[in-house]
Amino acid sequence: MKPVRFMGSAKDDLSAFPKSARIRAGHELFMVQVGRDPDDWKPMTSVGPRAREIRVRDRQTCNWRDGVTAMRAILPKESIVTRKVTESSGNIFLDLGLPPHEAAVMLLRAKLAAALRVWMGREKLTQAETAKRLGISQPRVSEIVRGKVELLSLDYLVGLCAKAGIPVGMRPAA
């Protein structure tokens, strides 16, 4: 995964969002970290050739070749390099102010959903075909594809990975 760096007050600003918006912002940043396009973005050439604006309320994030940088939408161009940079903890959901136990679960959900999306792409499955193979409804597959991980339980995603033949392991840190 690409590292995340928060520029200026971006981390504090994003942490002040309502919980549902922080989860959505976390998912969008996670998508960029794993090399996928976020749901709602456009090129941001004024910042850099590979920069992208991700729309989550009134904030922007930029995808740089060597990582992900988040900044305030109103940050003037000349201030970009002079602003304070805060490195990510490694869990974008924790960085955005979710309690540690919720952040850990959200990151696991995001990783499992990403693994299912990769499997779908590798198998060249449509959402309808995926639903049939996994024995779930197409709208549930759509939630996985769109990264609506807050709607899916961890055990549900683990079960879907098992049905898809995706090995899931756990290694406690302590």
Q: Note the pLDDT tens digit of each residue in 78-91.
A: 444 455 777 888 89
Confidence of residue 64 (pLDDT cuts 50, 70, 90): very low
Closest CA to 9 of 65, 79, 86, 105: 86
CATH 3.30.2310 in the chain is located at 4-95
CA distances from 173 to 71, 104, 115, 170 (A): 31, 12, 21, 9
Residue-wise burial string across 116-132, b where 16 or more C-beta atoms lie within 10 A, e elsewhere: bbebbeeeebebeebbe
Contact 160, 116 (CB under 8 A): yes
* pTM for the model: 0.74
Structure confidence at residue 62 (pLDDT): 45
Task: Encode pLDDT of 65-120 as tens digits.
Answer: 445 555 443 334 444 445 577 788 889 999 999 999 999 999 999 999 999 999 99
CATH 1.10.260.40 in the chain is located at 100-164
CATH fit for domain 100-164, picks 3.40.50.720, 1.10.260.40, 3.80.10.10, 3.40.718.10? 1.10.260.40
Structure confidence at residue 86 (pLDDT): 78
Task: Encode pLDDT of 38-54 as tens digits.
Answer: 777 877 777 677 677 77
The class level of CATH for 4-95 reads: alpha beta
